[in-house]
Structure formats: structure tokens, C-alpha cells
Amino acid sequence: MNDLQVNDYRYGFSKPENYVFKAKRGLNRSVVEQISSIKSEPGWMREFRLRALEIFEKKKMPKWGADLSTINFDDIFYYIKPTENQKKSWEDLPKDIRDTYDAIGIPEAERKFLAGVTAQYESEAVYHSFQKQWEDKGVIFCDMDTGLRKYPDIVKSYLGRSIPPADNKFAALNSAVWSGGSFIYVPPGISVDIPLQAYFRINAANMGQFERTLIIVDEGAYVHYVEGCTAPVYTTDSLHAAVVEIFVKKGARCRYTTIQNWSSNVYNLVTKRAFVEEDGIMEWVDGNIGSKITMKYPSCYLVGRGARGEILSLALANSGQHQDAGGKLMFLAPETSGEIISKSVSVNGGRTSYRGLVKAIKGAKGVKCNVRCDALILDEQSRSDTYPTMKVDEKDVTMGHEATVGRINAEQLFYLMSRGFSETEATSLIVNGFIEPIVKEIPFEYAVELNRLIQLNMEGSIG
């Protein structure tokens, strides 16, 4: 068995750090107050942060899931402001930042006429463009700091409503030190038919990134938000603890696509939750390729009659990685329905764990739910777990769960090799076929990149 060059990370370049402001390492009241004052935030936000900090300090680390014992909270930068002001156009950006984006293909996406790009470089959005046509319809798409400045009332009434700081330790941490992220509001009846995209990067060693995203899709509206991440390789561990809150109103639909490809030293601990009202639809498409440890379980709280939640989860764990991912569906109203489909691949000693919860409360009559998890283990060093939980407090439901774990079918491999494919090529083909049900839901440019990444991960892993 050859070792896959895990260090041969495709986007593993880093640029000289050039920051206007960098908070001290570690976290305390004054760091939080400093962040709030640099951002000139209203008093209530400062209070929100400080309250969250108290909760963070009291909360224990989760006892379940992946091993987080090596995180040192005192050794992390909680806030870095990269450039003085937000730049309007691409040309205004500092050259080295532009170069970094060039390398991961942002301008290409721009050329392809995508609706908007909020590129989060370090802790704050530095580049933000938006198609005028949506602005005219009243769609708001900006970074979260701008959102707070320009629409304080909306932010105040939704922030922390689906994920209160006390939800878990990392939600509390994010609430205390959040910076950047996206703010989206889609007015009633408006359908945004080109995906809104944001690209994040972490570019300072030992720096945590705590973006906070808030999406409100008003009655009958539709939006597709795409979040993709690639990050350079560092020698010390980085922490990414994001919070994403989504509100899907009556008859609205929201799709949230993530391709998470943090470098293999990042702890990716993210809380994502959507509240879905009557006849609303929430779709999470969640791909986890990178990071050292990911713990992420996008959730749908189906609070209105007829609401639907779908979670498509994809995980690939290579050497040294543990992808602890899955999803949560809470059936809190009658005739709600949902589906979770999870596909995971472990290779070169990687570990994937599917962790899921589906729950129907008393009175949630007519609930229909289907969960399907398939896992591939490619070699003897790797591991795959499935921890699905169902809780049902209502008889009038139909719930099913199914899971399979196994290796690559030898006959398929043999067939492809007899047709002239090398073992690596054949394995890549089979793995790409295995994850196809999820990849086909991802926007084309990302699907292409994902297929390449899979192939890269398979190289040298077989034989």
C-alpha cells in the first residue's frame, strides 16, 4: 500500500500575512469587547457577545463524537481584520489576496455570471459583488457585519433564535466572537434562480474563523446559497466554528450547498439549523472532504404543517481525518416529511461516522421519513461508523432507516480493469459513481472540482 501524499494538498499555498488588526491570542472579556468596539456594534450585540462568552466558559466540551481534546483555546487568534474597508470591485483588492483567489478559481466563477460573490478572507468579507437585478427585487445579500449595520432590526429579531448561544459550546463560542459570514433576505414571492455564493478562506496560522450566517427566505420565495471552502495548509491546528441559521417561511424553499475542503489541520465544528414553516422546504447538501476533524449535523426543525426537510451528506476521510457528519430532522408538526441520504468513503486510515437523529413529537401525525446511509471502506486502516437514532412519540408515522457498509465490489473493479483502466482509475470511477446521487445535486463547477478531489484522494491509495 502506497501512502497518499496527504501533504500534497492541491490548494495548499499560503500568502504572506498582511493585516491591519490582529487581536491577541486567547479569549477573554476584553478580546470580545475589542471585537465589538472595532466593529462599532450596537450595545445589544455587545451584550449578546458577552453573555455568549459566559456560556462558552461554563459549557463542557461534548463527550460524544470526535476527539477534540487537542484544541487549545488559548492559542487561537479570535479576530483578524484583513483590510481597512470593504472593497467594491475586484481590481481594488490587494494583489496577494487576488492571487490567492485566482488560484482557486473565483474570477472564473465570476466570469460565468454567477449572481454574487462574498469572499471571506480571514475574518471579514473583503470582496463583495452583487447583481443589480436582485437588489432591485429587494433581495439582500451582504456580509453579516454589513447586515448588522444596515438592517439591525432584522438581525436583532432573528439572530440566535434557531441556535441560541446555549445550544452547544461551539455555538456559544461563535456567538461571542463571530465575524463575517453572509446575511441573506429574500422578500415574499421572489425566486433567486442563480445560486448566491460565498467563498471562505482561512489564511493565518492559528487563527479561528467564526463566521455567522443568517438566511431568511420569506413566504413563497426561493434561494440557493452555495458555500465552498478551500484553505491552505499550516503546521498548527486551526479552528473553524461557524453558525448558520436559516428561516424558511410559509411555502418558501431554501437550498444550502456546502463543499467543505479545509486543509487537514482544521477543526471544523459547525452548527447549522433551519426552521421550516408551513409547506416550506429546506434542503441541505453537505459535502465534507477536508479538515482534520469535522463535527457537523445540519438540522431541519419542521415547525409548520407540511414542511419538508432534506439532507444530503457526503463525507470523505483520508489519512488522519475524522468526518463525524450527518443530520437531524425534527418533526414538530403534522404531515411533515423528510429524507436523509448519506454517503461516506474512508481511505488510508481515515474515519467517517454518520451520526443522525430523527424525531417525531406527539401530534406530528402523518410524518414520513426515510434515512439511508451507505459507507465504503477502502482499506484495512480505515474505519466507518453509523450512529443513527430515531425517537418516535406518535404512532401515525412512517419511518425507515437503512444502512450498508462495505468495500469496493471486486467484480466491478475487475471488470473496469479488464477494460484497460488502472486500479486507481477504476477505484476513482467506482467511488465517483457511489457518491453520484449527491454530486448531481451540486452546481456544476463544484461537481467538477469534487470529482477531481476524489480522484486525487484515490491516487496511491490502492494496491
Partner 1 sequence: MQNSKLEVKLKRGQREVIPFELLESKRLEVVLAGEGAEVEIVGLVIGRGNEEKTLEAYITHAAPNTKSNVNVRGVLSGKSKFDFRGNVRIEKGAKGSDAYLRSDVLLFDEAKMGDDTPALEILEPDVKAGHAATIGKVDENMLFYLMTRGLSKKQAEKLLVEGFIRPIRERVSARE
Cα three-residue angle 287-212-324, rounded to 5 degrees: 35
Among 86, 401, 412, 424, binds partner 1 (CB under 8 A): 401
Report d(CA 278, CA 281) in Å as an integer: 9
Terminal alpha carbon distance of the chain: 5
Produce one character per residue of 32-46: b if its CB has 16 or more CB atoms within 10 Å, e if not: bebbbeebebeeebb
State the minimum distance, in angstroms, from the CB of residue 168 to partner 1.
20
Interface with partner 1 in residues 20-79 (CB under 8 A): none
Among 390, 417, 429, 456, binds partner 1 (CB under 8 A): 390
Q: Does 103 bind partner 1 (CB under 8 A)?
A: no
**Which one of 115-123, 127-135, 303-311, 391-399 is the stretch in contact with partner 1 (CB under 8 A)?**
391-399
Q: Does 341 bind partner 1 (CB under 8 A)?
A: no
Q: Does 402 bind partner 1 (CB under 8 A)?
A: yes
Nearer to partner 1, 252 or 378 (CB): 378
Give phi and psi for 117, each to the nearest 5.
-130, 115
Report d(CA 414, CA 426) in Å as an integer: 9
**Which one of 177-185, 209-217, 376-384, 418-426 is the stretch in contact with partner 1 (CB under 8 A)?**
376-384
Nearer to partner 1, 376 or 438 (CB): 376
**Which one of 202-210, 246-254, 389-397, 424-432 is the stretch in contact with partner 1 (CB under 8 A)?**
389-397
Torsion angle, CA of 328/273/351/13, rounded to 10 degrees? Answer: 160
Residue written as grid cell 449572481: 115
State the minimum distance, in angstroms, from the CB of residue 385 to partner 1.
5
Among 2, 30, 236, 398, binds partner 1 (CB under 8 A): 398
Q: Does 406 bind partner 1 (CB under 8 A)?
A: yes
Question: What single DSSP character describes residue 390?
Answer: E
Nearer to partner 1, 21 or 387 (CB): 387
Among 23, 214, 269, 375, binds partner 1 (CB under 8 A): 375
What's the number of CA atoms in the CB half-sphere (13 Å) around residue 155?
Answer: 24
Nearer to partner 1, 146 or 384 (CB): 384
Q: Does 399 bind partner 1 (CB under 8 A)?
A: yes
Q: Grid coordinates representing 277?
A: 414553516
Q: Does 1 bind partner 1 (CB under 8 A)?
A: no
Nearer to partner 1, 308 or 359 (CB): 359
State the minimum distance, in angstroms, from the CB of residue 283 to partner 1.
24
Q: Does 112 bind partner 1 (CB under 8 A)?
A: no
Q: Grid coordinates representing 124?
A: 471579514
Q: Does 6 bind partner 1 (CB under 8 A)?
A: no
Residue written as grid cell 467563498: 199
Nearer to partner 1, 193 or 396 (CB): 396
Report d(CA 379, CA 393) in Å as an integer: 40
Residue written as grid cell 450595545: 43
Give phi and psi for 78, each to the nearest 5.
-95, -15
Q: Does 400 bind partner 1 (CB under 8 A)?
A: yes
Q: Does 382 bind partner 1 (CB under 8 A)?
A: yes
Nearest to 171 by CA among 230, 98, 241: 241
Nearer to partner 1, 10 or 365 (CB): 365
The size of the interface with partner 1 (CB under 8 A), counted in residues, is 32
Report d(CA 234, CA 391) in Å as an integer: 42
**Which one of 181-189, 203-211, 224-232, 392-400 is the stretch in contact with partner 1 (CB under 8 A)?**
392-400
Nearest to 115 by CA among 224, 195, 211: 195
Nearest to 106 by CA among 229, 193, 268, 255: 229
Interface with partner 1 in residues 154-213 (CB under 8 A): none
Q: What is the CA radius of gyration of the chain?
A: 21
State the minimum distance, in angstroms, from the CB of residue 450 to partner 1.
23
Q: Does 378 bind partner 1 (CB under 8 A)?
A: yes
Report d(CA 215, CA 311) in Å as an integer: 17
Among 17, 219, 385, 425, binds partner 1 (CB under 8 A): 385
Nearer to partner 1, 329 or 397 (CB): 397
Report d(CA 330, CA 313) in Å as an integer: 17
Strands 266-276 and 243-248: parallel
Residues that bind partner 1 (CB under 8 A): 362, 375, 377-380, 382-407
